[in-house]
Every structure is written in C-alpha cells, then in structure tokens.
Amino acid sequence: MTQRDMFPRPLQYLIAIAEHGSYTRAAEALFVSQPTLSQQIKQLEESLQLPLIDRSGRSIKLTDAGKIYVHHARRSRAELDSGARAINDVRNLSRGSLRLGWTPITDFLTCSILGKYNKLYPGITMTTLEMPADDIELAVAENRIDFGIVFRKPTSSRSSDIDAHTLFKESFCLAIGNSHPRTGQRERMSAQELGRESLVLLNSNFAFRQQIEHYFSDQAITPKIAIESDSLSVIIQLIQTGPLATILPKSIAYTQSGVNLIVLAPSIPHQEITVICRKDGYKSPACQAFSKLMSEWATSNSLG
C-alpha cells in the first residue's frame, strides 16, 4: 500500500474532480465507478454541511468552499508525501528523489548542474518541471517541488514561506543570428533602434518577458514583436536561422553557436538567478546534497 492509497478516499476523489473537471474523467483516472465517486463526494459534503461541487451548470465546478477545501487537501497530501519520502530517503544517498522547478531561462543557465548531480548521486531520481516563476514559488510553498530556480529583480517580494538564495546576477543583450543585417555591429544599440527591430520573445506568462516589458515602458518604446513562444530553444533556433532578434542573458548568448551579441544602451537592469525552497520544510538528504552543490556551483560561477 502506497502513501497515496492511505490518503482519505473522499479527498482523493475531490482533488481528482478539481483536476479533471469531470466526474467521468476523475472516476476513470482513479479506476473507480462514477456512482462510487459521486456518493463519496456527497457524504463529504454532508459531513462538512456545505456543497463543494456546483452542479447547476453543464460543467462541473468547485464552489468557493470546494476551492478552499481542495487547497488544504492538496497541502495535506503533500505533507504526507513528504513523510513518505523522509522514511524512504537514506543517509548515504543510495536512493531518494529530488523535484526541481525552473523557467525557460534558468534551465539554460543551470542545466549543467543536473548532470553533475546525477553523476555524483545516480540513485537519486530527479524530476524537473518548466513553469513561470510565480507558479514555481507557489509549488515550493505547497511542497509540490523541493527547489525552484527563478529569474527575479533584486527587489522582488516573496512569500514568507520561502527561503531565497541568490546564485549570481545576470546582464542582458540583444542576440541576433549570422543572417541578421546587424551582424558584426560593435557599437551599442539605443532603445529607439531596438524599437525598430523585429523580435521573438518568451510569452507574457514568464517573469523574464515581464521584465523586458518594463524596460520597453521605461524607454517609451513600442516593440515590434513578430513571434512569441514558451520555448527558449525555439527562440534561439529562430534567430540562428533568420533575421529576427531577441533579448537574452549574456551567459546564454555567449554559449550559442551562430549567435551574435549587441550591447544595449541604456542597459536592461541586472536580474538575479535565485534558488528558492520552503523556509521550514523537511530537507531530505537528496535536497541537502543539491543545496550544497548549488552553493559550490554559484561560488565557482562567481569566480569565473
């Protein structure tokens, strides 16, 4: 019997309904009959003396009470999962798990550390999720991931549940491919010139894009955005093979074949690459080893 099997079934059913938006799909995902699932939800509602599911429309939705209850149910399940991992983790790191969340920018900047970690601790199962920075902080606070690596302004506020440690500071440049008309340019580019470039950028869900938008606003320019993407790899391929431009951290641009850098004037404010974790959360041996490796990596990166 797994830890999830021991979690109260009515709460499992309610969470599944919230995730799938359907009694039918929730029942299929849990391998139970729909009448069984429906009966358990009704009994849960009776015990709480409040409806958790809004059944008035064509689609299934949570009531306000249901949303609150699901939030706490997920946190309870996450705490039980932490307990199970704490028992299964071993001091010698021969097995265990590590859950990491990062953005399209930070995965490029810090991906190499995963290879080093895996080489040192091959028995640790690593799971990585790419998501916007705000979602990462929520996932850390709710214990759905162990660490997040985010791209933030130095003054960015964070939840009181979060511990943050700056790895290094990053600066930015305009990045273009070999077929761009400005290839070979050595002089700095003004904000007004930047406003005339056709750009491919991350979409607005990501903090890095929002920070670029602040720069555009501060410089009173309206950018020409030709393409938006949620993949940094796609963006880099587009500028490598065509006349579009993008804005990249310098440390990424320097490592990409066929990518040329142009310094912006005025420059985009520096940002911090930050690793975050729960302030009072359980730190497994796998997490402690990752934290130590990240600190060593940050020190070597700073010196470099």
85-95 per-position pLDDT tens digit: 777 666 678 77
Torsion of the alpha carbons at 119, 93, 126 and 152, rounded to the nearest 10: -90
Q: Mean pLDDT in the chain?
A: 87
Task: Say yes or no to pLDDT of 3 above 60.
Answer: no
Q: Please list the residues that pair with 262 across neighbouring strands.
A: 174
Which among 211, 256, 212 is positioned nearest to 237, based on CA atoms? 256
Report which DSSP code applies to 268.
P
Which tens digits make up the pLDDT trace of 55-98?
A: 887 778 899 999 999 999 999 888 888 777 777 666 678 778 89
Residue 243 has pLDDT above 90, yes or no: yes
Q: Which of 68-82, 87-101, 202-216, 273-287 has the least mean pLDDT? A: 87-101
Which one is predicted more confidently, 226 or 208? Answer: 226
pLDDT at 272 over 90: no
Residue 303 has pLDDT above 50, yes or no: no
Reported as a single tens digit per residue, the pLDDT across 30-60 is: 999 999 999 999 999 999 999 999 988 777 8
- Whether 281 and 163 have beta carbons less than 8 Å apart is answered as no
Q: Give the chain's length.
A: 304
State the alpha helices, DSSP H only, in 185-267: 191-194, 207-218, 232-241, 250-253
φ/ψ region of 155 (left if φ > 0, alpha if ψ in -120 to 50, else beta) reads alpha
What confidence tens digit (pLDDT) does each residue in 99-151 have?
999 887 777 777 788 889 999 999 999 999 988 888 898 899 888 999 998 87
Amino acid of residue 213: E
Percent of the chain with pLDDT over 70: 93
Using the predicted structure, report yes or no on whether residue 158 has a pLDDT greater than 60: no
Domain 95-169+272-303 shares a fold with domain 172-269:
yes
Give how far Cα 244 sits from Cα of 69, 227, 280, Å: 48, 9, 46
- d(Cα 46, Cα 299) in Å, to the nearest integer? 56
pLDDT at 162 (0 to 100)? 85
Residues 6+ away with beta carbon under 8 Å from 68? none
CATH architecture of the domain covering 95-169+272-303: 3-Layer(aba) Sandwich (3.40)
pLDDT band at 304 (very low <50, low <70, confident <90, very high): very low
Whole-prediction pTM: 0.60
Whether the CB-CB separation of 263 and 270 falls below 8 Å is answered with: no
Dihedrals phi, psi of 129, to nearest 5 degrees: -130, 135
Q: What is the pLDDT of residue 35?
A: 92
Collapsing DSSP states into helix, strand and coil, what is residue 167?
strand
Mean pLDDT within 179-191: 93
| CATH 3.30.565.10 at 172-269, yes or no | no
Please report the DSSP string for 53-119 in residue order.
EE-SSSS-EE-HHHHHHHHHHHHHHHHHHHHHHHHH--TT-SSEEEEEEE-HHHHHHHHHHHHHHHH
Confidence of residue 159 (pLDDT cuts 50, 70, 90): low
Average pLDDT over residues 228-251: 93
> Which pair of structure tokens corresponds to residue 57?
């429309």
Q: Are 273 and 187 in contact (CB under 8 A)?
A: no
The CATH number of 3-87, from 3.30.750.24, 3.20.20.370, 3.40.50.11260, 1.10.10.10, is 1.10.10.10
Q: What six digits make up the tokens of 226?
A: 């030709």
pLDDT of 63 reads 93
271-278 and 147-152 beta bridge pairing: antiparallel
Do 250 and 171 form a contact (C-beta atoms < 8 A)?
A: yes
Q: List the chain domain ranges.
A: 3-87, 95-169+272-303, 172-269
Q: Which carries the bigger pLDDT value, residue 237 or residue 169?
A: 237
Q: What is the DSSP letter of 49?
A: T
Question: What pLDDT does residue 90 have?
Answer: 63
| Residue bearing tokens 């299964």 | 88
Task: Please report where in the chains the tokens 């497994």 appear, as a residue.
Answer: 284
DSSP helix/strand/coil, 276: strand
Report the alpha-carbon distance of residue 294 to residue 165 in Å, rounded.
10
